[in-house]
Amino acid sequence: MTADIDFDRIPRSALPGLLARMPKAELHIHIEGSLEPELIFALARRNGVALPYASVEALRAAYAFTDLQTFLDIYYAGASVLLHEQDFYDMAWAYFEKAARDHIVHAELFFDPQTHTARGVPIGTVIEGLSRACAAARTHLGISAELILCFLRHLSEAEAFATLEEALPWRAHFIGVGLDSSERGHPPGKFTRVFVRCAELGLHRVAHAGEEGPPTYIEEALDLLRVARIDHGVRAIESPALMQRLAAERVPLTVCPLSNVKLCVVPDLAAHPLPQLLAAGLAVTINSDDPAYFGGYLNDNLLALFSAQPQWGASEAYTLARNSLEASFAPAQEKAAWVQALDAEFRQATTL
Ligand SMILES: Nc1ncnc2[nH]cnc12
Ligand SMILES: [Zn+2]
């Protein structure tokens, strides 16, 4: 997978520029988690929604999380300003502008329809706004963009089934389904039947597992939900047998380093298990999760990670970018073209 590139010829000083410029895919971004406080306040004003915070600064100051649930409480409150199709478009477009800056060539966006339908927003409003932004990203930014509908795991499987049914008139607008929200106490197996139905519908499947939940949740996601990728999955590090399986089956993990620090999954980036995951041959990818809440977008995650892992160099950067492109649900031809562009970027860097 090294494509004959002599990584040792790339000077360390070139690494930050290379990390920023290399073509990459983002596979784990909750679009509601890209809502910056400024946009939350602008949308609140536009829609006449009252917020329990006096200012942008007061809202930002509340972003001190102790675990996943303390984050989710604020994240769902932030999403309450989204009412109209244009709101969903504006939110996603703001993300795509940042994705273009980060040289993201392909993005698969998670969205949480139940967060919006519970407030009376029709699912079509959500999907049409996001889908229009994806089309604009393709046309105006050259970013390949797709949507993945996530079920909230703190709700019931019956509610997930109802959401799937509601979304089916817009089936052409999303490529897959995911599972997110409060992990502890909500094992993947709770959603087995709805995921079987999604497989019958030809939808790609992913699930959050092993973020706060135990390694057995990762096994359930693979064996019962038959997912193609695991979102987070960092607690796999606790099970040598699972680590072996993930490496042998090349199951991609969409890891989110700054998120893991902010939600206290790991104490700091230096203590993150990523080096062990990579060294064990797992197909890890780097992602931003909820960038507006966790202190950075994809390139911020990469730069912070490489600062905290000084033993990492160009070879690791290449592997992470290549994994992201190959783990995506994009057509094989597009993936091959992106990998070619990635190789060219790194070959060019060997001549510096
Ligand atoms: N990190 C995360 N884990 C689970 N659900 C989420 N929803 C948004 N971000 C999430
Ligand atoms: Zn997530």
DSSP E strands, 181-286: 204-209, 229-232, 253-255, 284-286
ipTM > 0.85 (yes/no): yes
Residue 2 confidence (pLDDT)? 58
Q: Would you say the CB of residue 208 lies under 6 angstroms from ligand 1? A: yes
Which atom of ligand 1 lies nearest, measured to the CA of 290? 9
Which atom of ligand 1 lies nearest, measured to the CA of 150? 7
Q: Would you say the CB of residue 30 lies under 6 angstroms from ligand 1? A: yes
List the pLDDT tens digit at each of the 352 positions of the chain: 557 999 999 999 999 999 999 999 999 999 999 999 999 999 999 999 999 999 999 999 999 999 999 999 999 999 999 999 999 999 999 999 999 999 999 999 999 999 999 999 999 999 999 999 999 999 999 999 999 999 999 999 999 999 999 999 999 999 999 999 999 999 999 999 999 999 999 999 999 999 999 999 999 999 999 999 999 999 999 999 999 999 999 999 999 999 999 999 999 999 999 999 999 999 999 999 999 999 999 999 999 999 999 999 999 999 999 999 999 999 999 999 999 999 999 999 999 7
Report whether 107 contacts 144 (CB < 8 A): yes
Residue 78, number of CB atoms within 10 A of its CB: 26
**Phi, psi of 143, deg, nearest 5:** -95, 130
Report whether 197 contacts 165 (CB < 8 A): no
User: 7-349 falls under which CATH superfamily?
Assistant: Metal-dependent hydrolases (3.20.20.140)
Backbone torsion region of residue 181, taken as left when φ is above 0, otherwise alpha when ψ lies between -120 and 50, otherwise beta: left
Task: Give the Å distance between the CA of 179 and the centre of ligand 1.
Answer: 9
If you take atom 7 of ligand 1, which residue's CA is the nearest one?
Answer: 181
Helices (H), 224-297: 240-248, 257-262, 274-279, 291-294
If you take atom 5 of ligand 1, which residue's CA is the nearest one?
Answer: 181
Q: Which residues lie at CB < 5 A from ion ligand 2?
A: 289
End-to-end CA gap in the chain: 22
Task: Give the Å distance between the CA of 6 and the centre of ligand 2.
Answer: 35
Q: Which two tokens stand for residue 78?
A: 């932030």
Choose the catalytic residue: 26, 85, 108, 211: 211
Task: Give the Å distance between the CA of 165 and the centre of ligand 1.
Answer: 23
Report whether 290 contacts 33 (CB < 8 A): yes
Q: Would you say the CB of residue 108 lies under 6 angstroms from ligand 1? A: no
Q: Which ligand is in closest contact with the Cα of 34? A: 1
Q: Would you say the CB of residue 186 lies under 6 angstroms from ligand 1? A: no
Which atom of ligand 1 lies nearest, measured to the CA of 33? 8
Q: How far apart are CA 102 and CA 219, in angstroms?
A: 33
Task: Give the Å distance between the CA of 202 and the centre of ligand 1.
Answer: 24
Which atom of ligand 1 lies nearest, measured to the CA of 211? 3
Q: Would you say the CB of residue 114 lies under 6 angstroms from ligand 1? A: no
Amino acid type, 51:
L
Examine the residue annotation and report whether 211 is marked as an active-site residue of this protein.
yes
Report whether 72 contacts 181 (CB < 8 A): yes
Task: Give the Å distance between the CA of 312 and the centre of ligand 2.
Answer: 25
Q: Would you say the CB of residue 273 lies under 6 angstroms from ligand 1? A: no
315 CA to centre of own chain = 23
